[in-house]
A and B are shown apart, each in its own frame.
Chain A
């Protein structure tokens, strides 16, 4: 019985009313997620399927992007460090950059584009073709089956993908360092991880979890509440990506500030 009613006359102004109604509906949506995630039955099979779609199906793109990011960042950093005769700091610099910032951000942005748009479009398409209503009238809880599983899959898979991106990024970096400085893997790793603390890795994992939850929630909310027929499907996919990316950058700033305060 999810029906968003518009009052006859606006309380403040039409756009402000719509904004506050939207904010209220998003919080209600998130509240429903936390309520449904605790209550049985648990859609384990669908969750595994969604993890496969979000995680495994993103691996190729993540691998390519992660490897190129590590490689290019190393190549770009070398001339500046070489000026000071500090190329031996390259592994350490790359590790800090990749693990603290690049891996979570690159993973999240790729997933916002690939997974967010896919979830937004899929749910919106189901909404406008009445498939979600069909689940509801068949006594199936569509929110639990469609929304909870997708948000959970994003939240679970993003940290794993982030760790994988960091690993692949470091591999790209090692390739360049090895080819230019003939550094061994052991020496590279020792140098790379000498300045990385548990806090760095933990903060990145937390970031990835928050980014995953954001991507899942935004895309599910927009898809699940899509209107305007096929036009609404395109809009849901597009807005899912834009809003997810915007929120990811905002969250990145806030988390970096918090971590720096702890550090």
Chain B
């Protein structure tokens, strides 16, 4: 289990979600979700495929709009923000996509430089290169700077995706299935990286996954999503003491006793 994180500030909520509803046609995905993320905390949202885990973080990032409820991020109500304000907020909220979502026509270096040149146009070239060097070093892939995304493995692509998010120095990280489709050793490396990012860059994170190993290794708190609602929240042991059928099934199938 993840060791106790001493840096969590339990007085400062960075994300506060209340009564969140979202449907796609007749498919009701989120039905009254409440969630608080405190400064410095890692929350893992666990649930089966199609339960709306990714929809939840896409709403937080302003990529989707909720049908009802409030999503307050760093003191701002996301759905009320104008485009320019939302862009400002997004500089503080990093989003790591399931497959990395790297720009495939650019090299790794260009992928990392792109958000910087757009958002900090006055930055000098040396400063930009330094920043790229720092994040590439943080994800342990300095040697890939001139490679194209197609030349990288799945795990490397996810790491570069994390580096590209970190380059804007966000306060909050949203990870969408960071270990999906990876071999167990790469999964452990990604889990360690998520913890390293939390420690080194002082970020608060929401990690979406259905991988219990990832949840156990990275989550200060686990929240289990079922039928559009959180059925259990707490630390790993608290959650998996539950008799809920879904939670038991999750535990049994992941063999992590």
Contact = CB atoms under 8 A, between A and B. Distances in A.
Interface stretch (A1-9, A177-185, A245-253): A1-9
Contacts of A3: 64-65
Nearest to A134: B101
Interface string B209-225: 00000000000000000
Nearest to A138: B115
B90 A138 contact: yes
A138 B25 contact: no
B93 A137 contact: yes
Contacts of B95: 133-134, 137
B69 interface: no
A6 B25 CA distance: 6
Contacts, number: 68
B61 interface: yes
Contact of A137 (B24, B61, B121): B61
Interface string B57-77: 010011111000000000000
Query: Chain A: interface secondary structure?
Result: loop
Given A1-B65, A129-B104, 17 more contacts: A1-B63, A8-B26, A129-B99, A130-B97, A130-B98, A130-B99, A131-B103, A133-B97, A133-B101, A134-B103, A137-B61, A137-B93, A138-B115, A139-B90, A139-B91, A139-B118, A139-B119
Contacts of A140: 114-115, 118-119
Contacts of A130: 97-99, 101
Contacts of A133: 58, 63, 95, 97, 101
Interface residues of B, number: 33
Contacts of A136: 62-63, 90
30 contacts: A1-B62, A1-B63, A6-B25, A41-B121, A130-B97, A130-B99, A130-B101, A131-B102, A131-B104, A133-B58, A133-B95, A133-B97, A133-B101, A134-B164, A136-B90, A137-B61, A137-B90, A137-B93, A137-B94, A138-B114, A138-B115, A138-B119, A138-B165, A138-B168, A139-B88, A139-B90, A139-B118, A139-B168, A140-B114, A140-B115
Tell which of A3, A131, A141 has the most Cβ of chain B within 10 Å. Answer: A131
Tell which of B24, B88, B114, B118 has the most Cβ of chain A within 10 Å. Answer: B118
B63 A137 contact: yes
A129 B25 contact: no
A136 B62 CA distance: 9
B87 interface: yes
Nearest to B86: A1
Given A129-B101, A130-B99, A139 B115 contact: yes
A134 B63 CA distance: 10
B122 to A, nearest CB: 12
A19 to B, nearest CB: 18
A237 B24 CA distance: 26
Contacts of B88: 139
A5 to B, nearest CB: 8
A225 to B, nearest CB: 14
Contacts of B91: 139
Contacts of A141: 83, 87
B76 to A, nearest CB: 14
Tell which of A1, A3, A133, A139 has the most Cβ of chain B within 10 Å. Answer: A139
